[in-house]
C-alpha cells in the first residue's frame, strides 16, 4: 500500500522503517524534509498552509497517518497542529476520499479528564479541562467525521531521546511520597509498532475507530521514580527536608491520574516490545550508557 505520514518526526520515521520493511511505499511529509533520513521518500508541506497540501488531491494514498506534534505548549500551537492542520489535510484529501482506506489521527490521553485513579478505555467519557486536551479532542472529532478515521491515543511517550523523567530523578526532583497519582507510559518503539499494526488491521479490514495505546502497567509517579532511582543509583538527598509538594491542581488537570487500559489493542493482536515501564526504561538507560553524549536529551 501507499502510505503518507504527515508530520513525520521521530515516531513517524520509526514507523516508516517498519512499514518499508513490510513492503509498503511510504512518503514522509514535513516542513523541513532535510531532517528526514535519506532512505525515506519525502515531500515538503506545511499543514497550516492549505495550498502546500495540494499534492494530496492528485496523488492517491491508501492510508494517511497524521502524526504531528505541536510546536509548543500553547493554545495557538495546539490549534495549528491538531485542528487547522487536520482540517487542511482532510480538505486536500477530499477528492481522494473514496479511494482512501484509512485516515489515522495520532491523539493523546490528554483527552481524558479522569483524575481519581480510575481505569479508562476507548469508551470512557472525555471532558478535558486543559486547553491541550480540548483542542486534541477537536482534532479527533474532525478525523471521526470522515467515516474513515481512526484515532490512536498515546499515553506518556518515552525513549532514548525522551528522558525527561530520568533527568528529573537524576536531579533528585521527586514527587511527594504520599502522592498516589497514576502515570501511564509507552515506549517510542511501541508507538511506531502500533502505527504499523493499524496499517495491518486496515489491510485485514478489522480496524476500529479508536485505540488507547499505553503499556500494560500503569503505575504511580512515586513507583516510577523509585524504580529509576534504583536503576540509576541515585540516593534521595532530601532527608530532613520537606518533600516536594504534590502536583498542583492545574498540573493535575493537565496530566490527570488514571489507569489506561490497552485491552482493545491487545485483543487486536498487538504485542508490546516493552509491556511495562521497567523493561522500557531499562532499554533507554542501556542505550544511554552505550551512546553517552550522542543520545539527545529531551
CA distance 243 to 250: 19
Task: Dump pLDDT digits (tens) for 29-61.
Answer: 999 999 999 999 999 999 999 999 999 998 899
Predicted confidence at residue 291, as pLDDT, reads 78
Task: Dump pLDDT digits (tens) for 122-153.
Answer: 999 999 999 999 999 999 999 999 999 999 99
Angle at 211 between CA 199 and CA 103, to 5 degrees: 45
263 φ/ψ angles, rounded to the nearest 5 degrees: -55, -45
The pTM assigned to this predicted structure is: 0.91
Nearest alpha carbon to residue 202 among 103, 122, 123: 103
Whether 198 has a pLDDT exceeding 80, the answer reads yes
Whether 16 has a pLDDT exceeding 90, the answer reads yes
**pLDDT level of residue 238 (50, 70, 90 thresholds):** low
Predicted confidence at residue 237, as pLDDT, reads 63
Please give the torsion angle defined by the CA atoms of residues 173, 176, 177 and 181, in that order, rounded to the nearest 10 degrees: -100
Q: Helix axis angle, 277-291 relative to 221-232, nearest 10°?
A: 40
* 116 and 109 Cβ atoms separated by less than 8 Å: no
**pLDDT level of residue 235 (50, 70, 90 thresholds):** confident
CA distance 134 to 284: 31
Predicted confidence at residue 295, as pLDDT, reads 42
3-state secondary structure the chain: CEEEEECCCHHHHHHHHHHHHCCCEEEEEECCHHHCCCCCEEEECCCCCHHHHCHHHHCCCCEEEECCCCCCCCHHHHHHHHHHHHHHHHHHCHHHCCCCCEEEEEEEHHHCCCCCCCEECCCCCCCCCCHHHHHHHHHHHHHHCCCCEEEEEECEEEECCECHHHHHHHCCCCCCCCCCCEECEEEHHHHHHHHHHHHHHHHHCCCCCEEEECCCCCEEHHHHHHHHHHHHCCCCCCCCCCCCCCCCHHHHHHHCCCEECCHHHHHCCCCCCCCCHHHHHHHHHHHHHHHHHHCCCC
Q: What is the mean pLDDT of the chain?
A: 92
For the chain, give every domain's residue range: 2-158+184-218+259-275
CATH topology of domain 2-158+184-218+259-275: Rossmann fold (3.40.50)
CA distance 225 to 165: 8
Residue 275 buriedness (CB in 10 A; 0-12 / 13-18 / 19+): middle
- What percent of the chain stands above pLDDT 90? 88
Amino acid at each position: 500500500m501507499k502510505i503518507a505520514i504527515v508530520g513525520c518526526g521521530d515516531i513517524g520515521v520509526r514507523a516508516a522503517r517498519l512499514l518499508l520493511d513490510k513492503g509498503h511505499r511510504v512518503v514522509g511529509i514535513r516542513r523541513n524534509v532535510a531532517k528526514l533520513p535519506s532512505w525515506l521518500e519525502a515531500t515538503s508541506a506545511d499543514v497550516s498552509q492549505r495550498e502546500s497540501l495540494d499534492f494530496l488531491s492528485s496523488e492517491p494514498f491508501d492510508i494517511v497517518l497524521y502524526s504531528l506534534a505541536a510546536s509548543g505548549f500553547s493554545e495557538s500551537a495546539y490549534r495549528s497542529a491538531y485542528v487547522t492542520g487536520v482540517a487542511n489535510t482532510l480538505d486536500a484529501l477530499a477528492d481522494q476520499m473514496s479511494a482512501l482506506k484509512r485516515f489515522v489521527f495520532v491523539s493523546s490521553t490528554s483527552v481524558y479528564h479522569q483524575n481519581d485513579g480510575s481505569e479508562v478505555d476507548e469508551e470512557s467519557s472525555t471532558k478535558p479541562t486543559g486547553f491541550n486536551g480540548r483542542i486534541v479532542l477537536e482534532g479527533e472529532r474532525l478525523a471521526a467525521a470522515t467515516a474513515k478515521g481512526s484515532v490512536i491515543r498515546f499515553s506518556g511517550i518515552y525513549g532514548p531521546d525522551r528522558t525527561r523523567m530520568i533527568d528529573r530523578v537524576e536531579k533528585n526532583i521527586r514527587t511527594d511520597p504520599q502522592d498516589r497519582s497514576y502515570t501511564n507510559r509507552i515506549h517510542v518503539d511501541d508507538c511506531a509498532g502500533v502505527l504499523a499494526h493499524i496499517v495491518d488491521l486496515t489491510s485485514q479490514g478489522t480496524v476500529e475507530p479508536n485505540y488507547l495505546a499505553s503499556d500494560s502497567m500503569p503505575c504511580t509517579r512515586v513507583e516510577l521514580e523509585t524504580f529509576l532511582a534504583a536503576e540509576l543509583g541515585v540516593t534521595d538527598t532530601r532527608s530532613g527536608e520537606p518533600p516536594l509538594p504534590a502536583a498542583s491542581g492545574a498540573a493535575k488537570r493537565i496530566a490527570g491520574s488514571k489507569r489506561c487500559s490497552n485491552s482493545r489493542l491487545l485483543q487486536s493482536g498487538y504485542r508490546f516490545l516493552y509491556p511495562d515501564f521497567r523493561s522500557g526504561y531499562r532499554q533507554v538507560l542501556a542505550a544511554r550508557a552505550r551512546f553517552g553524549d550522542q543520545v539527545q536529551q529531551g
